[in-house]
Amino acid sequence: MEHFAALKILHMAATALLFLCALALAIWIIRGRRAGDLTVQNRAMRKPWVFVWLLMGACLLTLPISGWWLVHYAGWPLGQTWLLAASILYTLGALSWTWLAVRVNRLRRPMIVGNPNFTLALAVFSAVCFVAIAGLMGAKPV
């Protein structure tokens, strides 16, 4: 298989897997909250959900590498505005995702009380960053 096509498939699969894992976590927490369980987010780092967080982390690590190789094979200059904007959004989204993972991991201890609105804001900000990146990659305004 051609390298460009293989990298494109890897990049799209990592993106889809990242969004599916985030969606599964969000649905699980929303359903638990609607059922009346106000501490459902405290169990988000238990088995098997820790696997989902690790899978999302692995996807986040492969995306910049495969993205750089895709840009390299396509011959696009790295100074294009949409690539720079996507890089900045990726950095902000990945940092907020990391902060979110640390906050959710700390929430599983019963003595630590966190602000659930800030945790939600981190999750929404990270999701918006990655959706915006997907939009930039889909449009490719060269």
Q: Are 134 and 15 in contact (CB under 8 A)?
A: yes
Distance separating the N- and C-terminal Cα atoms of the chain: 27
Per the listing, tokens 């599916």 go with: 20
Q: What does pTM read for this prediction?
A: 0.83
CA distance 95 to 80: 23
Between CA 101 and CA 54 the distance in angstroms is 10
Residue indicated by tokens 């959900």: 49
3-state secondary structure of 140: coil
CA geometry: angle at 137 spanning 132 and 142, to 5°? 115
The pLDDT value recorded for residue 112 is 62
Q: Please give the Cα distance from 70 to 7 (Å, whole number).
A: 7
pLDDT in tens, the chain (142 residues): 688 899 999 999 999 999 999 898 889 888 888 888 877 777 776 766 788 888 898 999 999 999 999 888 888 888 888 899 999 999 999 999 999 888 887 877 666 666 778 888 998 999 999 999 989 888 877 6
Cβ(74)–Cβ(67) below 8 Å: no
